[in-house]
A and B are shown apart, each in its own frame.
Chain A
């Protein structure tokens, strides 16, 4: 028994010295094989593709700003960015949780199928574009064309929305608290139901926010573009 060493459950990577490849390779395989459940990443310095393709219930804490595609295609893992995130954060996420403590650039949560993306600050253009089932909570405001062609899932926007919110929406639902500069094609305001208020309350709670769901408006698809005959009149 004396020869057995305790297995460390946390590991730290410093991208000032360690390579991105070493980090991601560790997250893909050794973290699971070695039973490491929490990984800290220091000095990310805006590097792209940090913690992409994760496929295990591990906790990744990134201390600093990240570039493109942080936590892209995440499955099961919890990834926290203690800083700002570049484009495509949590793109195509399948499950798990990604939390950006700062601001997020374009296309946050693009095409994400599942899981929860939390952005404490603002999110730029096309937040939740092509969303396919994930939930997104934005503490601040979102840029133009957010939820463009979003197919499923929910987006809670605690601040304002810029132009063309929800353009060409399918079945995704947007809840927005502040001003909407304009709605996109086929998006419309709809009355909030008890189910909507409960959903907003739950998502806000998961994001650590305590706003009143009654302050939110619901935006969903009018479904007038679901069939091809509609674009004879170029309604887009």
Chain B
């Protein structure tokens, strides 16, 4: 007699049963770090149509391909000039250690790009190590200081974040050490939950005035960015343009977080691919392409992703999780005294393993990236981290120029939508490019 195969329910699979039973046992929702784990249409679903008879390629190893990127040319008298269109996304001191912030600054500076502060203020380390530093103005205003406004190279007003649009920041008590608490004016060890709304303005009409205040304070020198989490992107981008933004940052749902409710990470917001299309459409609708620059973020990993983002109309990208992984996030070891030391037992103590870890919220990062623990943070040597990150960003940039040259572009910003096709109907519809092998763009009416 044969045993019938075990049949797992599609609706109530093991993961769902585990979720229900954990909720039943604890009465608490899950909080975790990093970004959405579910599969959503992404840049992987696009391909390039490189040069052939109808297009003329550049010599891949010989001909110049420009990567210089200007941000903030609309109103600021001192726009940002970057050597590459790949920036480091905003991540807070608190979520990350001061050593990590230092490493980000060193690597970005060596490659001629920018880093960004986060919810928790500007550290002296990151200001010192970052040639170009974007200073975030968040709803919490933790550590927000006019001296830092003056020290910054650009100001980024954060309306929302891709991992949790509509939600405020969160930093659990184990990461609120004395320095973090002091910078945020909070009691040490408190579970910090930031406001989701700015304290001194509400709505787009007020934002116009807020941006002008920041311009007056900075004597109209510094670019003002506005960052939105990807939801109603078309309208949000138009409103941000009307409010006077120089640069708009759109963060898709795959964007990372140091700590957010899982239900938020997985179920709120739209994919980066769809968000980018809507953002570009909004700029086109206002005839503002090239006047207001667009930075896209949320799950950007490789030079291919960057090239596709630029081809769709972004001026630059911002990378967060990829940057952390370059530093060692989810590695099985860390470097101490020039030797690789296994971190597997530390992962196991967190109930996870390299490749699966999202325990940034615990502050017990086995490789010393997302921690404030004095012992754990030593596992990331800023010099080593900076070298690894520099290598990663350099690789991404080389991949970008490789694709651009193959498409016949002397400047990576010349990549265009016409260079792209989609692998799936969903991606074709979201990105507004033809399904590969056809001229069909779902939803275009053609």
Contact B185 A133 (CB under 8 A): yes
Contact A52 B199 (CB under 8 A): no
Contact B216 A52 (CB under 8 A): yes
Contact A48 B200 (CB under 8 A): no
In the complex, which residues of chain A have a beta carbon less than 8 angstroms from the beta carbon of B218?
Answer: 53
Given that A111-B200, A229-B28, A232-B28 are known contacts, is A92 also in contact with B141, CB under 8 Å in the complex? Answer: yes
Contact B185 A53 (CB under 8 A): no
Given that A68-B209, A69-B200 are known contacts, is A21 also in contact with B216, CB under 8 Å in the complex? Answer: yes
Per-residue CB proximity of B229-265 to A under 8 Å, as 1/0? 0000000000000000000000000000000000000
What is the CA–CA distance of A207 and B91 in the complex, to the nearest angstrom? 41
Contact B146 A75 (CB under 8 A): yes
A113 within 8 A of B: yes
Min distance, Cβ A217 to any Cβ of chain B, angstroms: 23
Min distance, Cβ A119 to any Cβ of chain B, angstroms: 15
In the complex, which residues of chain B have a beta carbon less than 8 angstroms from the beta carbon of A52?
Answer: 213, 216-217
A94 within 8 A of B: yes
Residue of A nearest to B191 (CB): A228
Contact B213 A151 (CB under 8 A): no
A72 within 8 A of B: yes
A180 within 8 A of B: no
Per-residue CB proximity of B85-109 to A under 8 Å, as 1/0? 0000000000000000000000000
Given that A94-B145, A226-B190 are known contacts, is A113 also in contact with B213, CB under 8 Å in the complex? Answer: no
B149 within 8 A of A: yes
Contact B190 A170 (CB under 8 A): yes
Residue of A nearest to B170 (CB): A228
Given that A92-B141, A130-B140 are known contacts, is A170 also in contact with B187, CB under 8 Å in the complex? Answer: yes
A24 within 8 A of B: yes
Contact A151 B186 (CB under 8 A): yes
Per-residue CB proximity of B4-39 to A under 8 Å, as 1/0? 000000000000000000000001100100000000
What is the CA–CA distance of A53 and B187 in the complex, to the nearest angstrom? 28
Contact A227 B191 (CB under 8 A): yes
What is the CA–CA distance of A88 and B201 in the complex, to the nearest angstrom? 8
For the residues of A in contact with B, the DSSP-based class is: loop
A20 within 8 A of B: yes
What is the CA–CA distance of A55 and B150 in the complex, to the nearest angstrom? 11
A65 within 8 A of B: no
What is the CA–CA distance of A129 and B28 in the complex, to the nearest angstrom? 29
Per-residue CB proximity of A169-182 to B under 8 Å, as 1/0? 01100000000000
B219 within 8 A of A: yes
What is the CA–CA distance of A122 and B33 in the complex, to the nearest angstrom? 44
Which of the residues A53, A92, A149, A171 comes within 8 Å of B216, measured between beta carbons?
A: A53
Contact B217 A232 (CB under 8 A): no
Contact B220 A21 (CB under 8 A): yes
Tally of contact residues, A, Cβ under 8 A: 41
Contact B191 A226 (CB under 8 A): yes
Contact B187 A171 (CB under 8 A): yes
B144 within 8 A of A: yes
A110 within 8 A of B: yes
Min distance, Cβ B244 to any Cβ of chain A, angstroms: 13
Min distance, Cβ B256 to any Cβ of chain A, angstroms: 20
Residue of B nearest to A51 (CB): B216
B84 within 8 A of A: no
B206 within 8 A of A: yes
B172 within 8 A of A: yes
Residue of B nearest to A24 (CB): B216
In the complex, which residues of chain B have a beta carbon less than 8 angstroms from the beta carbon of A88?
Answer: 200-201, 213
Given that A53-B149, A130-B141 are known contacts, is A91 also in contact with B216, CB under 8 Å in the complex? Answer: no
Residue of B nearest to A227 (CB): B191
In the complex, which residues of chain B have a beta carbon less than 8 angstroms from the beta carbon of A73?
Answer: 146, 149, 217
Contact A49 B146 (CB under 8 A): no
In the complex, which residues of chain B have a beta carbon less than 8 angstroms from the beta carbon of A132?
Answer: 141, 185
What is the CA–CA distance of A94 and B31 in the complex, to the nearest angstrom? 34
In the complex, which residues of chain A have a beta carbon less than 8 angstroms from the beta carbon of B141?
Answer: 92, 110-111, 130, 132
Contact A107 B27 (CB under 8 A): no
In the complex, which residues of chain A have a beta carbon less than 8 angstroms from the beta carbon of B288?
Answer: none
What is the CA–CA distance of A126 and B187 in the complex, to the nearest angstrom? 22
What is the CA–CA distance of A23 and B28 in the complex, to the nearest angstrom? 54
Per-residue CB proximity of B56-92 to A under 8 Å, as 1/0? 0000000000000000000000000000000000000
In the complex, which residues of chain A have a beta carbon less than 8 angstroms from the beta carbon of B149?
Answer: 53, 73
Per-residue CB proximity of A85-129 to B under 8 Å, as 1/0? 001100110100000000000010011010000000000001001
Given that A28-B219, A94-B145 are known contacts, is A110 also in contact with B199, CB under 8 Å in the complex? Answer: yes
Contact B185 A48 (CB under 8 A): no
Which of the residues A53, A55, A92, A149 comes within 8 Å of B195, measured between beta carbons?
A: A149
A152 within 8 A of B: yes
B442 within 8 A of A: no
Q: Among residues 124 to 157 in chain A, which have CB atoms less than 8 Å away from a CB atom of chain B?
A: 126, 129-130, 132-133, 148-149, 151-152
Contact B200 A113 (CB under 8 A): no
A25 within 8 A of B: yes
Q: Among residues 116 to 167 in chain B, which have CB atoms less than 8 Å away from a CB atom of chain A?
A: 140-141, 144-147, 149-150
In the complex, which residues of chain B have a beta carbon less than 8 angstroms from the beta carbon of A129?
Answer: 199-200
B290 within 8 A of A: no
In the complex, which residues of chain A have a beta carbon less than 8 angstroms from the beta carbon of B150?
Answer: 53, 55
Per-residue CB proximity of A24-55 to B under 8 Å, as 1/0? 11001000000000000000000011001101
Q: List 5 A-B contacts (CB under 8 A).
A: A48-B209, A110-B199, A152-B185, A227-B191, A228-B172
A interface list, Cβ under 8 A from B: 20-21, 24-25, 28, 48-49, 52-53, 55, 67-69, 72-73, 75, 87-88, 91-92, 94, 107, 110-111, 113, 126, 129-130, 132-133, 148-149, 151-152, 170-171, 226-229, 232
For the complex of A and B, 7 pairs with smallest distance between CB atoms: A53-B217, A88-B200, A73-B146, A111-B141, A110-B199, A110-B200, A228-B191
12 more CB-based (< 8 A) A-B contacts, given A130-B141, A170-B186: A52-B216, A53-B149, A68-B210, A69-B213, A73-B146, A73-B149, A87-B200, A92-B146, A111-B199, A149-B195, A226-B191, A228-B31
